Amino acid sequence: MHITLDKSAGVQVVQPQHFAAFVTDVKEAGSVVPDGDAKTAVETVLALPALSTFLLRCSRADVFDGSVAADFSSNTKDLCMLRSLKQLKYFYNLPAGQLMQLLSGVVASDDVVAAKPWTALAERVFADEELCTMLIKHLIIGKTARESLKDIYEENAQYLLENDPHALYPTSIYRQGNGHVTSSDDSSRIEGVMSTTITTSIEIVRDVLNPKNHQLRDMYKPLKRCVAVVDERLDKLYGQKLCDYFVSHDIPFEKMSYRCMEVDKDISTVEKMLVDLKGRRVSRNEPVLIVGGGVMADVGGFACALYHRNTPYVMLCTSIVSGIDAGPSPRTCCDGLGYKNVFGAYHPPVLTLTDRYFFRTLEKGWIRHGIAEIIKMAVTKDHTLFEALEEAGQKLVDTKFGIEGVEAGSRFDTLSESIIAKAMDGYVRSEYGNLWETHQCRPHAYGHTWSPGFELQAGLLHGHAVSIGMGYGAYLSFLEGWISVTDFHRILNVISTVGLSLVHPILDNPNSLWQSQVKMTEKRGGNLCAPLPRGSIGKCGYLNDLTRARLEATLIDYKELCKAYPRGGAGIEPHCRDVGLEDPSTVKQHADHAVHAIATIGPAASDEVPEANGNGNGVEANGVEANGNGNSNVYNDWIAKQQVSRNQGATSSSLMASMVQIQAKDTEAPPAFPHTTLFHEGGEEYAQAMTTAASADFVNIAKETVAADLFAPCMVGAIEGQFLKMMAGMTKSKRVLDIGTFTGYSALAFAGGVPADGEVVTIEADKKCADVAQKCFDASADGSKIKLVRGDAMKVVSEMADSGEKFDIVFLDADKVNYAHYYEAGLKMLAEGGLIMADNALCSLVYADDDPVRLALHAFAQKVRADTRVEQVMLTVREGILLVRRV
C-alpha cells in the first residue's frame, strides 16, 4: 500500500497500516540519505514522496479522535505510533531535531537495522544546534526554502490555514480548542459552546536519568534547554544526577528548587514559581520539567496552569502517590484559607514519567501509605490488579516495589512494575473521562468519603485514613448485598497484609464521619455518591443513601469485625509522626488562618470541604535540620550583638520595674494608652501562626457567625481558644462555666479540654446567638459535652450559686459591666483549686474614653487586686485575661 493524499477528502484517516506502508517505503529510501551537511540531508529526505505524502496526510488527520485511538490500541508499538502521530500532525511547527527523531523512532520501532540511516540523521541534526531547533516550516515554506519543497508543502499549508489552523500555527501542540457560536440577526443574543481537547502521554520507565535513556533528551534537546522545577528534598538526593544527565547531552539545564512539604502547599509557593518562570522567560509552549512527589505535582502543575494561562509540563514522578495518582492528575491545586486544595485548575501534564528507581529513597511507611491509592483502583476498577496485590502482599513494602533485593527481570520485578502500571491505567481512565469533574461517578474517590472527617484530627497518614474508609466502605457494600462476604474479607485482607489501617481509635467518635459525609454530600452537588465495590471486586457502584443512625450502627459492627484481623485491625506506623513527618496540625494551621480570614472577609470565602486529595497529608520528608549548637558562649555573643542594642532605650529602673510588681495605687480611670489594640500589627498574627491550629469545627463557627451577620470579633478566636482548651486540660477540669456564649467558640474550646465525661455549661441571653451556637455544637466533635442555658446570666449564675453548683473553671465573657457580680457568684461556685478567668480584662486600656465599659473593667481589675481571698495574674493574651484563684 502506498500512501496518498486525497485532497478532495480534506480530513485524512491515518491508521497503523499507513505507518507500516510509510516504513516500508522509507526503509529503502534510507540509503538515499546524503552524507555531509545535515541541513541538506534533511531537505533531501523531506522531498522524498513517501515521506512528504505521509507527513501531509498526518497534518490533516483528526489525531485526537477516539476512533483513531481505538485503531492504535492493539499493542505497545501501535501506541508509540499514536503518540508520534499526535506530534507529526504539527510537523510544520516542529523543530527539525524533534521531527527527525520522531521519524527515526517510527522506522526503528519496525526495524532497528533499517532505521540506522534515519537514526544517524537524527543524531546529526541534534548535533547542529541551529538546525536542531529550527522549525520545519522555515525549511519547507519559508522565504528561503527550496522551491521544490515549497511546491510540495505550500498548498497544503494554505489548506490548513483555512481549515485547521491548529496544524499550522499551534500555540502548543498539546491542546486544541473548538466551539461554535449561534447569534440572532441583530447579534443581541448569542449562544456559544466551547470545548478543549488536551492530549497527554504516560509511561512507566526505568532509570530515566541514566544518560543512555533518551526520553528527556529527545524532549528537551530541540527546545535548546530544560527549565526544571524540583522538590528541594529530591534535589538533595538526585539533583546532581539530574544535572549530569542534561550536561551529558549538552542541554542547558536551569533548575529551580522549592521546599515542598505539605505545609508549603500554599499560594506563596505557587507565586514563587511563577516569578521564577517569568524570570527565566519560559515560553508558553516550552514544557517545564517538574520533579517530585504529590505536593510538587499539585503545586508545580498549578503554577504551570497559571503561567501564560497554561504552560505545558512534563511530570517526573518520584513517589508512589505522584506516580500513579497526583502526577498524571489534571487536578492541580494548592491549599488556602484553611482548606485543602481550594485553589486550583484542571491542567494535566503533557507527559508523565513514573520511575520506580526513585522509590529506593522512600521510607517504608510512605510506600505503605502510597499502596492505599493502588488498592482503591484495584477494588473499583481492575480485579487483575487486585489479584496482583494479593500475590505481592507485604513484599511490595519490604522490597520498595521490587527495587531492593529483587533481581531485575525477575517475576517479582515484573509484578511490581505491572502493579504500578495497572493502577495508573485505572486512575487515568477514571479521571480523563471526567476531566473537569463534571459528574461525581468517580471510582478513584473510593475510601475518600468519610476519611476527611478524621484524617487530620487523628494525625493519620492519608493512606491509612483512606484504607479505613475503604474497609468501612467494603463493609457497607457487603451489607447492601453488592459484594460477597468472601470478597469483603479479601479486601480487608489486602489492606491489612500491607500494614495499612482498618480501624483507629478516632472511629469511636462517629460524629466526625457523619460530618464528613454531610460536607461531602454538599460538595458532590447534593449527592453522597460514595464509590464502593459493586458486583464483584474490580467493579464500582455508588451509595447515595446512608442515614446517621445506620452509619453509627454499622461502624460499631465494622470495628468489632476488624478485631479478628492482625494487630486488631490497626495499621503499622499509621501516623504522620510515626514516619518522621510533621503532624498534620501544621496543615490545620491553615485552618487557623481561615478563622481569621473568614471573620475578616466574610461569607464569600470558599465552602470547600477540608479534604485531602490523593497526595495525602505529608508524603514529603521533614527537612528541618537540627541546630545542635547549645554553646553558652554563642548565646552570650548573641546577647551582646543583638539584644543589648535592642534594649538600649531602656533605663535600669524601667528594667528593674519589669522584674518586680509595680505598686500602683487605685485610680478612677486606667492610664492613657494611645492605641486601639494591645499589639502592633503582625504580633498577634505571628503568635497565631505559631499556635496549634483550630480544628474545622472552629472554622465552622467562624463561618456560621459571619453567615448570620453577627459581630465576629466577639469570639475569643484561635489563640485564646487554644489557651482555654489547654487550661482546662492542664488543670484536669471536669466542669466549666462559660458565661456569655455568643456563637460558642469559648464553650467549644473548653469542651475540647475537658474529658469525655466532662461538661461545659454556657449561658447566653440572645436567641440568635444561642441558635447559631447550638447549630455549631451539634455539628462538632465535642458539642455533646456542652449544655447551653438560654437566659439572663445575672439571674442564672445566682441561681446556680444558690443551688450549690460547682465548677473547676468559671469564664467571664458576658456583659463586662456586671463582671463583679459574676465574679462573686463564681467564687462561690469554685471547686477546690478552681479558677476564674475574666476575658477582655485589658480592654480598659483600649476602649474609648467615653465608653462606660472602660471604667467598669478598670474598677473590676482593681477590685480583684484588693481582694485578699485570691491571687491573680493579668495575662496579656489577646485582649487580656485576668486569671484568679482562691488562696
**Residues 6+ away with beta carbon under 8 Å from 56:** 5, 152, 153, 156
Which neighbouring-strand residues pair with 886? 870
Pick out residues in 304-333 that bind ligand SAM (CB under 6 A): none
- Work out whether 13 is an interface residue with ligand SAM (CB under 6 A): no
Of 435, 689, 714, 831, which lies in the binding site for ligand SAM, with binding defined by CB under 6 A? 714
**Least CB distance to ligand SAM at residue 748 (A):** 8
**Least CB distance to ligand SAM at residue 710 (A):** 8
Three cell numbers written together for 611: 479534604
Query: Closest CB to ligand SAM among 80 and 598?
Result: 598
Handedness of CA 336, 337, 340, 343 (dihedral sign): negative
**Least CB distance to ligand SAM at residue 383 (A):** 53
- Work out whether 820 is an interface residue with ligand SAM (CB under 6 A): no
Three cell numbers written together for 98: 524533534
Rg of the chain on CA atoms, in Å: 33
Query: Closest CB to ligand SAM among 315 and 837?
Result: 837
Q: How many alpha carbons fall within 13 Å on the CB side of residue 621?
A: 17
CB–CB of 382/430 below 8 Å? no
Pick out residues in 345-384 that bind ligand SAM (CB under 6 A): none
CB–CB of 844/817 below 8 Å? no
**Least CB distance to ligand SAM at residue 801 (A):** 15
CA distance 754 to 237: 46
- Work out whether 697 is an interface residue with ligand SAM (CB under 6 A): no
Residue among 730, 671, 722, 726 at smallest CA distance from 694: 722
Query: Closest CB to ligand SAM among 291 and 788?
Result: 788
Three cell numbers written together for 852: 462606660
CA distance 87 to 552: 54
- Work out whether 769 is an interface residue with ligand SAM (CB under 6 A): yes
Number of shown-chain residues binding ligand SAM (CB under 6 A) = 20
Task: Give 3-state DSSP helix, strand, coil % of the chain, rounded to 5.
Answer: 55, 15, 30
Pick out residues in 784-813 that bind ligand SAM (CB under 6 A): 792-794, 813
Query: Closest CB to ligand SAM among 421 and 678?
Result: 678
Q: Give, rounded to a whole angstrom, the gap between the first and last alpha carbons of the chain.
A: 103
Query: Closest CB to ligand SAM among 327 and 740?
Result: 740
**Any idea what the Cα angle at residue 381 is, between residues 380 and 384, rounded to 5°?**
110
Please identify the residue of the shown chain whose CB is closest to the bound ligand SAM. 740
- Work out whether 760 is an interface residue with ligand SAM (CB under 6 A): no
Of 763, 825, 836, 857, which lies in the binding site for ligand SAM, with binding defined by CB under 6 A? 763
Of 581, 594, 715, 859, which lies in the binding site for ligand SAM, with binding defined by CB under 6 A? 715
Site mask, ligand SAM, residues 724-753, x = CB under 6 A?
A: ----------------xxxx-xx-------
CA distance 633 to 635: 5
Cα 93 from chain centroid?
36
Of 598, 772, 814, 864, which lies in the binding site for ligand SAM, with binding defined by CB under 6 A? 814
Query: Closest CB to ligand SAM among 303 and 838?
Result: 838
**Least CB distance to ligand SAM at residue 314 (A):** 50
> Interface with ligand SAM by CB under 6 A: which range of 133-141, 562-570, 687-695, 711-719?
711-719
State the burial class of residue 679 (Cβ atoms within 10 Å of its Cβ: 0-12, 13-18, 19+): middle
> Interface with ligand SAM by CB under 6 A: which range of 44-52, 216-224, 554-562, 764-772?
764-772
SS3 state at 207 = coil
CA distance 469 to 793: 44
> Interface with ligand SAM by CB under 6 A: which range of 638-646, 648-656, 709-717, 799-807?
709-717
**Least CB distance to ligand SAM at residue 724 (A):** 8
CA distance 462 to 612: 7
**Least CB distance to ligand SAM at residue 743 (A):** 6
The residues binding ligand SAM (CB under 6 A) are: 714-716, 740-743, 745-746, 763-766, 769, 792-794, 813-815
